[in-house]
Amino acid sequence: MAFKLPSFNPKNEPKKSGRSALNAENTTLIMSGLKKMSDSSAFDTPLIGHLPVEKQYILTMVGGLGFLVLTGILLTYSGIQSGNKTEYITKATEMQMLSQRIAKGAQQAVAGNSAAFAQLKASEKQFIDNYTAISKGSLTLPASPKSTQPMVVDLKKDWTPVETQINQIISHEKTLVDLRLNVDSINKSTNDLLEISEQLVGRMTDANLGQRETTVASNMVMLTQRMAKNANALTSSDTIEQDVAFQLGKDTTSFQESLRALRDGSERLHINAIGDADAHNKLVELSASFKPFEASVTNILSNMQPLVETKQASVAIFDSSDEILKDTKKLAAAYEKLGTTGNTFAVISALLALASLVLFGIVNVNESKRRVTQSEAENKRNQEAILRLLNELGDLADGDLTTNATVTEDITGAIADSINFTIDELRGLVSGINRATEKVTTTTLQAQNISEELLAAAQRQAQEIEETSAAILGISQSINDVSASATQSAQVATQSLEAAEKGTKAVENSITGMNSIRENIQETSKRIKRLGESSQEISEIVELISDITEQTNVLALNAAIQAAAAGEAGRGFSVVAEEVQRLAERSGQATKQIAAIVKTIQSDTQDAVAAMETSTQGVVEGAKLSDAAGQALNEIGQVSRNLAGLIENISAATDNQAIAATKVAKAMQDIQQITEQTTAGTQQTASSIGELTALATDLKKSISGFKLA
């Protein structure tokens, strides 16, 4: 297919002698139009038509440029007003968002969230910056218009107390964060306290250490949960109930007193110190775990005042956030209603500029008509040069790139030179197309390389399959190892069973000894109970003595009053003295009863001592039996260690299985990827070869009509 340049023969007439036969009349259509324009009558420019053309150009140009500059200034001013309006709306909208973020951040900050303090400070600063910008202005934004100032003042009234409350919360940042850490420490320690307390109760119940002591320990279990709940309630709730704080302090004191009573005994609680070694160890462990818990509670209670103040401030901020949101919405709506005054003047100025340009156009048209008349003769001279150039381009239209146009001094000289340059460039383009055809061969070689890569991928696929088979064999061997280890584990388990039987016998003997100890302890408990009853009687007698003492004081007072009233003749004093004497006798009798009871207590105490000695002997026997149980348990421990070793072997074999399975999975994935690569490469090869074939055909057709030499 030959490359054809646009033909200049309007009727596609046959060419003469290989060149286009052109009619001069048809090629001067534009010239004829210009001639008609020059023949039409011109009209004078309004207002300035009497002036010379140069002055008309100057006046219309200066007027148009002046009005255009004025229009630009007015549009710039209008744009600034529009930008300020947009900035006002943006800041008001941002303040709406900040009011809600501040309310949320205040709640989180009071809860001790350290990140919330940073957010609260940033939000407060941004809100203040926005308010300052719209109320007083900034480097890039003037103060709000007078029409919106009342709403700005309302916003300031609602914001001022909120700002004070925010600063109050920020001033207690360290305290609130520390309180949060204290609560976290309490929550972390609660589970330990609960677990140790329950273990203590279980040990005391098993050892039958006394109903009252066990009750105190059980109450400690309940206190661990209630203290944690109240501590969290103080920091997480929006308000603080004084009853919760009081109950937290009371529970902490009760827990500490219970620890002290179980460790040292307490006459007030009527409980004895724990004598069991295991229970005592648990008590020591519980006391150690309670120290950081107690310190955290103490810190919370000591900072109740700032906590209450900040929570109240947070609630106030939350309540005020709605008012601030309403104020900012009203302010944004007021900004939306603001208009711009520069647009109207800009339109007027633009119309004046347009009128100036119209006048300039009229002047230019009139001048053009005059110049068309002058240039008509010159155009006729150039017509023949143009026809000559077009005839020379006839061979170029047939695809002959060896043709060159004649360069003369006429107007067509520069055109001919440009056409020659274009022919040279076109000749280079066709040569480049020939070179592109050669690249088809290179593309074919690339297709061959792709095929070779596909072959290599297939080889890698075969290799991966071999590795997968080897991995499967490794898995099989690992399974055999697991089986062998399991057999050995069964043998060791048999040995462990025998050792466990020995330990069971030893434990049974130990239990028998402990039963004897329990009986002695029960006897001791009965005698101690008798001591308690005697103590109760002593308490009643002491109360009686107290009553007698009170009556004695009253009678003595009456005697003094009567003696003072009667003077020297006070006979009533003798009656009072007799009553005092009788009361003294009653006191003496009570004292004797106390002495008798004390003797009884002493006797019971001696019996209790003897019973405790018997208990001690039983404990010695129990210790011997415990030694035997310990030896048996040592054997069990040795067997358990053997079992652990075998289990490790089993675990290692299992790991090998896992590794082998991983290799299998990885190999299968590689096989899948290689298969996909093979398919994609094959498709790419087929597509590339097809495209190259089509490209070669098109290139040959495109350049077949050109003559390069």
pLDDT over 70, % of the chain: 55
- What residues have CB less than 8 Å from 67, skipping those under 6 apart? 349, 350, 352, 353, 356
Fold of the domain spanning 183-301? Four Helix Bundle (Hemerythrin (Met), subunit A) (1.20.120)
Chain segment 231-262, per-residue pLDDT in tens: 887 777 666 667 777 888 888 888 888 888 88
Helix (H) or strand (E) holding 479: helix 412-566
Q: Supply the DSSP symbol for 19.
A: B
Domain chopping of the chain, boundaries: 183-301, 414-703
- What residues have CB less than 8 Å from 565, skipping those under 6 apart? none
User: How many residues can be counted in the chain?
Assistant: 709
Alpha helices in 207-264 (DSSP H): 211-236, 242-264
Residue 10, pLDDT > 80, answer no
pLDDT-based confidence at residue 681 (cuts at 50, 70, 90):
confident
- Comparing 663 with 223, the larger pLDDT belongs to 223
Residue 7, pLDDT > 50, answer no
Q: What is the mean pLDDT of the chain?
A: 72
| CA atoms lying within 13 Å on the CB side of residue 408 | 12
Tell me what the mean pLDDT of segment 270-275 comes to.
82
Residue 523, pLDDT > 80, answer no
Q: CB of 619 within 8 A of CB of 469? A: no
Tell me what the mean pLDDT of segment 463-470 comes to.
67
Query: CA-to-CA distance for 85 and 338, rounded, in angstroms?
Result: 7
Query: CA-to-CA distance for 80 and 73, rounded, in angstroms?
Result: 10
According to the model, what pLDDT value does residue 578 have? 64
According to the model, what pLDDT value does residue 8 have? 37
Based on its alpha-carbon atoms, the radius of gyration of the chain, rounded to whole angstroms, reads 56
Structure tokens at 69: 């500059």
Question: What is the Cα 620 distance to its own chain's centre?
Answer: 63
List Cα–Cα distances, 368 to 43, 363, 373, 378, 388, in angstroms. 13, 9, 9, 15, 28
Tell me what the mean pLDDT of segment 548-555 comes to.
69
Query: CA-to-CA distance for 453 and 446, rounded, in angstroms?
Result: 11
pLDDT over 90, % of the chain: 0
Residue 22, pLDDT > 50, answer no
Please choose, from the candidates 216, 203, 223, the residue with its C-alpha nearest in 3D space to the C-alpha of residue 275: 203
Helix (H) or strand (E) holding 70: helix 53-110
According to the model, what pLDDT value does residue 500 have? 62
Tell me what the mean pLDDT of segment 589-605 comes to.
70
Structure tokens at 536: 């109760």
According to the model, what pLDDT value does residue 575 have? 64
Helix (H) or strand (E) holding 624: helix 572-703
Residue 665, pLDDT > 70, answer no
Q: Supply the DSSP symbol for 51.
A: S
- Comparing 500 with 327, the larger pLDDT belongs to 327
- Lowest model confidence (mean pLDDT) among 18-22, 616-620, 652-656, 696-700: 18-22
Q: CB of 59 within 8 A of CB of 48? A: yes
- Comparing 192 with 405, the larger pLDDT belongs to 192
According to the model, what pLDDT value does residue 152 have? 84
Residue 333, pLDDT > 50, answer yes
Residue 23, pLDDT > 60, answer no
Question: What is the Cα 507 distance to its own chain's centre?
Answer: 57
Residue 156, pLDDT > 50, answer yes
According to the model, what pLDDT value does residue 155 have? 85
- Comparing 691 with 483, the larger pLDDT belongs to 691
Residue 422, pLDDT > 70, answer yes
Chain segment 28-74, per-residue pLDDT in tens: 444 454 344 444 444 566 667 667 767 776 777 776 677 666 666 66
